[in-house]
A and B are shown apart, each in its own frame.
Chain A
Amino acid sequence: MGLVFRGAAEAGLGAASAADRPGPPDAVPNPTPTPPAEGADPGSSRGPGMVLKAFFPTCCASADSGLLVGRWVPEQSSAVVLAVVHFPFIPVQVKELLAQVQQASQVGVTVLGTWCHRRQELEESLGHFLEGLGAIFSHKPWFQLCRERGSKSWSCKATHWRGPASPAASGEDQVMLIFYDQRKVLLSQLHPPMALPDRQAGDTTASAGGLAAVFDTVARSEALFQSDRFNEGPVRLSHWQSEGMEASILVELAKWAAGPVCLFLACLLSLISAASSCRVFKLWPLSFIWSKLSTCEQLRHRLEQLTLIFSTRKAKNPAQLMRKANMLVSVLLDVALGLTLLSWLHRKDLIGQLADALIPVADHVAEELQHLLQWLMGAPAGLKMNRALDQVLGRFFLYHIHLWISYIHLMSPFIERILWHVGLSACLGLTVALSILSDIIALLTFHIYCFYVYGARLYCLKIHGLSSLWRLFRGKKWNVLRQRVDSCSYDLDQLFIGTLLFTILVFLLPTTALYYLVFTLLRLLVVAVQGLIHLLVDLINSLPLYSLGLRLCRPYRLAAGVKFRVLEHETGRPLRLLMQINPLPYSRVVHTYRLPTCGCHPKHSWGSLCRKLFFGELIYPWRQRGNKQD
């Protein structure tokens, strides 16, 4: 098959030069597409009026005449045109190139038909020549697209060869032209619609076949787009990159430098994580403290993220790449905000002012607590308390406050130094600074936490005692074996003592309940403040900023689907549509690309929270990683 078509090209098309390609002077009757109902050959395997779809790249609409190269998807009856091979060419070389591309990309790239971009009507010989090409690159169906230069009238027909025996009995089908922007479709990533709650996510991908096949074909055919028109290869192609591959020096330099930098940082990070997981830190007091401080959680989280970003393994799929990019941008933003905070603190010398104000504030809080206790020890809100119990509890808590104030005054010379060093940690990130703030609040209100625990335990004991004695009052008992309430006959002494104790507990209940209520409210206030700070930290941690930026600046990269627009239509001409990319809405971007956070969210519902409060069980507002049980 060593035919060279240069001779025929000179005869019919003229001009073998690459630059100038004048249109053929003669005319060929342009066969209009046959109407759908009668177009089918009764013996053909296709049904009547079958509409074939041809996806045509917009960059090839002004290309010179040649062969259409792409992939035929029989299930969708659609042809995806990837490039145009220009005259002159040698069929053997074209087939070799296609075989190479097919092997490199696993996409069934073949010659689909001919493309003709002419000045006026084609001559008869060219028409036969184009049909003769169909015999060499046999493909069913064989497309013949035509466009008049300078006008918007297109024509296309698709024929089925019945073989040389009956060439006249070839059936024709109607073709619908769908234009697509090749570069955008190549770069975009299709997101299947969200699965319904009761279905698996994997089922929806099976039904999203049609257009996903087009995207897939274009994305995997990168090997075809490597050669541009400045290449000295045997075959000349026209596609979106045929004007030259686009690249940026900065991006290339960054890619080249990324290797060693990643390696260096990965070693550094592995050293740090090895140091932090050494045995010294696992001893009991230290491990307990580390698990309580949210700063350590945050630092550990950031260390994990940095290890993932700078790991030397390449990302396996686009989702992992997005995740890495999101983490990197999140870390960078965090550090930038932290440095801004640091510069603001140092400019106004706020650290000194904060240190000076801290002790008086702590004193003030303690004084307010003392006033509160004095109020409780009197007649709070007009209620009459049990005097003896009141005095005992009040004095007990007052002594604690006194101890706490002494500790604070002991620490006062060192506060400024500590705060200055803590302020330096803001250069690790705003999230770290906020976590430290949350921990400082927790440490400063430690006495409130202690009071809450004392009050809650006392109240809890009282409630349990009351419920058990109430059962005795009614003649029932809790059966531990059967986990239920059973009736029981008590002796008279048991009943007598039980009733006495019950009465005592009932009359002491208001006092204990009031102390419990006051300290629980204080504790909940502190927890609410800490919760807000944690919410802010979680927001900074989990927001996918890179994906949002991509959606803002390059909306075609994240595609929810496609949309079609019907272009100018004349009767008798084929239907032309423009396929554009429908970008993903912002809410779905955030939902799909959210980064995982520490996971320290309260898992209670409001009902269980109220139940715990009523029975005096201790509430831990957030679980620490893994090991805490309520």
Chain B
Amino acid sequence: MSFIPGQPVSAVVQRIEIHKLYEGDNLILGFSIGGGIDQDPTQNPFSEDKTDKGIYVTRVSKGGPAEVAGLRLGDKIMQVNGWDMTMVTHDQARKKLTKKNEDVVRLLVTRKSLEETVRQSMMQH
């Protein structure tokens, strides 16, 4: 999932639709993110490529809306409601996920296993 400057990035993605849950006054999604272009990518335990400054899922609350929707630990978030997440700061990413007037977020996520699944299914045919 590394990017070559100047080249388009392509990945196999899965659509995940998370419905926010009311927890007191706040709307929450039930996961945590890490990463961002202003963060140190070498500390990301989930990324394959240690120069990848993308946004990754670092924690998924058990039984929370994210887990229910199919988000998994270690997923890399590519888009949130159409907004790109591959070249954003950490805070920008957080903001796009926590908009108060939206109660559904549609993510495009990618993970290693997706690629393998696709490759395998292609090989079978």
The reply to whether chain A is a binding partner of chain B is no
- Interface on A for B, CB 8 Å cutoff? none
- Interface on B for A, CB 8 Å cutoff? none
